[in-house]
Structure 1
């Protein structure tokens, strides 16, 4: 039996500075938005401030998950707390869907009873939000490609930037044409776009929570590779799952004849799984047809 372990894969890529900066900027913006919303009696700004406060909570959740993933494993948590990153990505997707549902409901209510808005103030405050949210999203864009948890943080900020752009456009058109219905209609369109974009994050994170095979792993190709190895008669109990949002593990039993005298084959297989299938943690058990494992490939010498 052999285990492949890459120590560099255990520590999630560090985005501490990005999280600290993003949380600080967005919390400041929430206070600015809430203050001016109260000053001009704008329900739209106050509601968006509450939504952005929820997104700050999402950033905190993602950051805590990354910190938890760095905790060492022990006898009670042999895998450590890496799965916290999957849970955080699921929670972030769920929060975003709930927030967009709330925004859509509020927009429908406002569409039935349109209200005038303070166009200039709304545009200025929303423009600040575009800059802050877009910058925060940029902080996470590199990590979002490979880490589902960071993708959740990126999606939150990108969604907020999109909402703020919509508010700016709605404010400008309101000042130009005076259309009271424009603000809720734009909000409904933006909410629909964000829900469509978030559904993939929600679906993937839920899939990983139930030990589904990560989408980047072609299980059929992995099985074909293992079954094509010299001497391998059969591969069974093959399992591939995500230990975290950026770590994949594999276990498999391989029926092989004859059993190798050393672990050279195991070393080559685990290296190949890591290099070509991005599986950093693999546990392989070699079995002979009579059920003997690698550990008994060399029988002990008979006592003299």
Structure 2
């Protein structure tokens, strides 16, 4: 048997969004202070709920920024893949932070139905309108990376959801000002919570799936196996695994049955390049086996 690994020296580090994180955090910290302060002055739960959510997003942005920086560190003797997995942990932490914020908002809003507080509709509208601008601008900073990196997508979704939530608060302020009905404030707060929950669910699901080393949704394992099996000299493929090293990097291991013997380094290099080109898998490791009856250690342990 022979084992070979190929990683062609391409740079698979996540894009540098350091400037976007710095600007986004600064804008949102400023807005949280303004929104929370005015929410306390006016007694608006909708504003306080939105401020709490925005604060959780600031924490989320900090976690995501730290993970992006850690993901760029080179491998070490202990962390042989580097710290790419930290971006998965950051995405999961972002989802958990949002769930905590959602629970707090709903709990407080339910109490407000039985004890509504007077709020200033016009002031709410002005503050929330500022939030629309800030959150939309911050979301735009991460828009270019939202499709290729779950960590960046988490930051983008938070900011885009915040812009929509702020728009809902503007509507609440207008309705309160027009009708004078204070129960609109906690009602909108609960609506905000469910909008945030909806946007958080996919992030939570994907980050949990990644943390369990599942095959990424962007990869069809059957197609990968078929591609490997079509190679000259390959009569069988087994022990095939594809998983996420981080939110931007995929890895593969596979046993290839080749009765004709080891095909040489050029075959392995070409195969790894094909895996990257066709499936976006940057790190491929192949074990060449002459016999079709070499036992798979993982399957042996499972059957035992």
The normalised TM-score by structure 2 is 0.90
- Please name the residue that 1:87 is paired with: 89
Aligned with residue 150 of structure 2, among 136, 148, 151: 148
- Please name the residue that 1:215 is paired with: 217
Whether the 8 Å contact between 2:46 and 2:189 is mirrored in structure 1 is no
- Please name the residue that 1:205 is paired with: 207
Whether the 8 Å contact between 1:9 and 1:280 is mirrored in structure 2 is no
- Please name the residue that 1:186 is paired with: 188
Aligned pairs (5 A) from 1:28-39: 28-39=30-41
- Please name the residue that 2:66 is paired with: 64
Does residue 107 (structure 1) correspond to residue 109 (structure 2)? The answer is: yes
Aligned pairs (5 A) from 1:134-283: 134-283=136-285
In the aligned structure 1, how far is the partner of 2:95 from the partner of 2:113? Answer: 27
Change (3 A) 1:57 1:6: farther
SS in 1 for 2:146: helix
Whether the 8 Å contact between 2:96 and 2:204 is mirrored in structure 1 is yes
Change (3 A) 1:145 1:261: closer
Whether the 8 Å contact between 1:116 and 1:180 is mirrored in structure 2 is yes
Change (3 A) 1:7 1:191: farther
- Runs of 5+ in structure 2 lacking a partner? 295-304
Residue 4 of structure 1: how far off its partner (Å) = 2.5
Identify which range, 138-147 or 42-51, moves more after superposition. 42-51
In the aligned structure 2, how far is the partner of 1:97 from the partner of 1:227? Answer: 44
Residue 155 of structure 1: how far off its partner (Å) = 1.7
The normalised TM-score by structure 1 is 0.90
Residue 7 of structure 1: how far off its partner (Å) = 3.9
Whether the 8 Å contact between 2:132 and 2:164 is mirrored in structure 1 is yes
Residue 260 of structure 1: how far off its partner (Å) = 4.5
- Please name the residue that 2:130 is paired with: 128
In the aligned structure 2, how far is the partner of 1:255 from the partner of 1:267? Answer: 17
In the aligned structure 1, how far is the partner of 2:217 from the partner of 2:165? Answer: 29
SS in 2 for 1:275: helix
Q: How many residues align?
A: 292
In the aligned structure 2, how far is the partner of 1:152 from the partner of 1:113? Answer: 35
